[in-house]
Structure 1
């Protein structure tokens, strides 16, 4: 009798220990990706949250480009998340054997034709805030030419008194107009675009001779200079460490209607806690129709129409790229991220 009691007691003790483990180890539902699936669609279908896709993308290092997923890839669907298993590697040809041949995965399904949105090439431009001052300007071009390009000679107002030396490199920019905030109408600065690069060859006291080493557009006298910095940078996706709310204040092209791959400027910078790689949702408020409610409703959940990734930052502004849109994006649209959403 004592032996039976001891066995029963041991059984209940083990069961009590196993119960929490079983409760914590949720068994996922396995789903296999088919042609036409997208991260956006998977998020909406399984989590009823179409804007969960950036979280899924960030958590799965196997997805280099968020717009490529593969038929045959499997996803593990949990109650609060989706995990994507790595795509199977292609199998190299082998000599015939008795084993069944291994399947080679079909080509990727492409949601949108676009390169990775996290490559900074130097052509993005930025908002030149009021506190920023040029290092100098191009003040003359030989033979009274109106514009120059790669390998041409120019003269600048940067000299030894400015700490310059032969061999110093500078980026060439031009201003294309003042940018006012779409909500407050406050002037944030000037939209600037890069024109090229130059290197000083001969330096005098307060002037220098330089050669244009690279040109993206025509360069003319009056173009201003800033110290050179490496242009081609890969920006890794990084979660914001705080809540952020701001606006799309302008675009690189100056267009009001925008879409995926367009470069935009935000009224958020390092002073607000924005970092390169942060992803923000593009949202719009939805106004309730008071005719159909019994009591007054002040606010509805926002409508998420897309997402941007920050590429580079200044103090109070930043340059970003639109990486997702389900509707036309406009200057003045709000961007936000809620850390604990």
Structure 2
């Protein structure tokens, strides 16, 4: 029952889709055509045309040639046209002459964001309530008292396991704490590698232990690591639909994943907003850098010198508001936190930077 609860928690959340309504604004220096190249994302392509690239679905939603934006490929020529008073992209398939026309062979479709950057955080690394792991089976070691295990090794796991099923080896990582309320938000569950019941005829188990083949690893496993059933690998959606979030929703970046002290474009961060705050997959947030606080107060020399003019403002204190320096997109949602990708940043982003809902 415990393993079933953990498995249910680890399975991903379905992407929800909502309509996006806002006015499209083209960049002053936007191109009239664009040839899609390998490595492009829908976000990158939209950024060539729009001041607000998160409105990318509007660029082709009315165009019958591009009904599915996940079916845009390297080599396609995108041409800017106007439909019902709004800019749209029309696709023309690239042709080659050699010596007669033939369609260029298709490569992988263009995703919204770099899927390789988030794949491990969708199906492997997680944030979890450690109470769910009470009594979960552990890696016990081997008959030689080996302290560390790598791909190709055999180790014993506590309890019984199903043959032919994949299991994940995990380790608990850092605690996530809200820096303002000091509330405990969850604990990082770090993916170590994959194992399965050993097929080696020279090892056998008992009712208390089962031998495992360590079939792949991203880092070394250790005695005491968790062994949990891993969900079937999810097929990543080709695109994540941006979701508008009210500006009244405010929070913070509480951590940059991979133990990074700073982050930039395409990096992954944890925010202190989750399901309980109605955050969804695709929710968009602005990243804010707080101003330096009060610049002038009534006790300062500057205020005394310009008191008469400053009093006309109606307040003796002058503050600099927070400055928007980027945007992030949520791609995994938990109860109290979410994992997001930084889509744009004009400077290095650090934990405790504020975020605010991006309404559009």
Q: TM-score, normalising length from structure 1?
A: 0.66
Contact 1:118/1:311 (8 A) holds in 2 = no
Q: Distance in 2 between matches of 1:322 and 1:263?
A: 6
* Cα distance change on mapping 1:336 and 1:78 into 2, 3 Å: farther
**1:213 corresponds to 2:232:** no
Q: Distance in 1 between matches of 2:115 and 2:270?
A: 19
Contact 2:78/2:89 (8 A) holds in 1 = no
Q: Secondary structure at the match of 2:148?
A: coil
1:330 positional shift = 1.3
Contact 1:128/1:192 (8 A) holds in 2 = yes
The structure showing larger relative contact order (alpha-carbon pairs under 8 Å, at least 6 residues apart) is 2
The match for 2:241 among 218, 238, 242 is 238
The match for 2:288 among 279, 283, 288 is 283
Q: Secondary structure at the match of 2:56?
A: helix
**1:155 corresponds to 2:161:** no
1:125 positional shift = 2.5
* Cα distance change on mapping 1:245 and 1:141 into 2, 3 Å: farther
- The aligned counterpart of 1:266 is 271
Q: Note the residue ranges of structure 1 that are not aligned, 5 or more in a row.
A: 1-27, 45-51, 105-113
Residue correspondence of structure 1 range 126-145 to structure 2 within 5 A:
126-133=126-133, 135-145=136-146
Aligned residues: 283
Q: Note the residue ranges of structure 2 that are not aligned, 5 or more in a row.
A: 1-25, 36-43, 105-112, 199-203, 297-302, 304-309
Q: Secondary structure at the match of 1:234?
A: coil
Residue correspondence of structure 1 range 82-231 to structure 2 within 5 A:
83-93=87-97, 115-116=114-115, 119-122=118-121, 125-133=125-133, 135-159=136-160, 164-201=161-198, 204-231=206-233
* Cα distance change on mapping 1:84 and 1:256 into 2, 3 Å: farther
* Cα distance change on mapping 1:299 and 1:238 into 2, 3 Å: farther
Instruction: Answer with 1 or 2: which has the greater Rg.
Output: 1
Q: Secondary structure at the match of 2:149?
A: coil
1:226 positional shift = 2.4
Q: Distance in 1 between matches of 2:159 and 2:227?
A: 9
The match for 1:294 among 279, 304, 313 is 313
**1:255 corresponds to 2:260:** yes
1:54 positional shift = 0.6
Contact 2:77/2:94 (8 A) holds in 1 = no
1:221 positional shift = 0.9
Contact 1:181/1:188 (8 A) holds in 2 = yes
1:258 positional shift = 0.9
1:324 positional shift = 1.8
Contact 1:308/1:322 (8 A) holds in 2 = yes
- The aligned counterpart of 1:47 is none
Q: Secondary structure at the match of 1:120?
A: helix
Q: Distance in 1 between matches of 2:186 and 2:179?
A: 13
Contact 2:171/2:225 (8 A) holds in 1 = yes
